[in-house]
Amino acid sequence: MADVTADRGAVGVSQGLGRAVILLGPPGAGKGTQAQRIAQRYHLPHLSTGDMFRDNIQRDTELGRKAKPLMERGELVPDEIVLGMVANRIGQADCAKGFVFDGFPRTLQQADDLERICRQYKLGCTIVLHMVVNPALLMRRLTGRRICKAGGHIYNVYERPPRREGICDVDGSELIHRPDDSEGVIGERLHAYDRQTQPLVEYYKSRELLTPVDAMAVADTVTEAIARILDGAIAHK
Ligand code: AP5
Kindly tell me if the per-residue pLDDT of 7 is higher than 80: no
Say whether 19 is catalytic: no
* Atom 18 of ligand 1, nearest CA residue: 30
Kindly tell me if the per-residue pLDDT of 15 is higher than 60: no
Say whether 178 is catalytic: yes
Of the residues 41, 54, 141, 145, only one is catalytic, namely: 145
Residue 1, CA atoms < 13 Å, CB-side half-sphere: 27
pTM of the entire predicted model: 0.92
| Probe target for ligand 1 pocket from 48, 51, 55, 77, with the most ligand atoms within 8 Å of CB | 77
pLDDT score for 201: 98
Kindly tell me if the per-residue pLDDT of 11 is higher than 70: no
Across residues 11-23, what is the average pLDDT? Answer: 70
| Domains, the chain, with CATH or none | 19-133+201-235 (3.40.50.300), 134-181 (no CATH)
What confidence tens digit (pLDDT) does each residue in 172-198 have? Answer: 999 999 999 999 999 999 999 999 999
Across residues 200-211, what is the average pLDDT? Answer: 97
Q: Which atom of ligand 1 is nearest to the CA of 131?
A: 14
Kindly tell me if the per-residue pLDDT of 4 is higher than 50: no
pLDDT score for 2: 42
pLDDT score for 43: 94
Q: Binning pLDDT at 50, 70 and 90, where does residue 233 land?
A: confident
Of the residues 89, 97, 140, 178, only one is catalytic, namely: 178
Q: Binning pLDDT at 50, 70 and 90, where does residue 236 land?
A: confident
pLDDT score for 151: 87
- Mean pLDDT score across all residues of the chain: 91
Q: Distance from the CA of 51 to the center of ligand 1, in angstroms?
A: 10
Q: Binning pLDDT at 50, 70 and 90, where does residue 31 land?
A: very high
pLDDT score for 177: 95
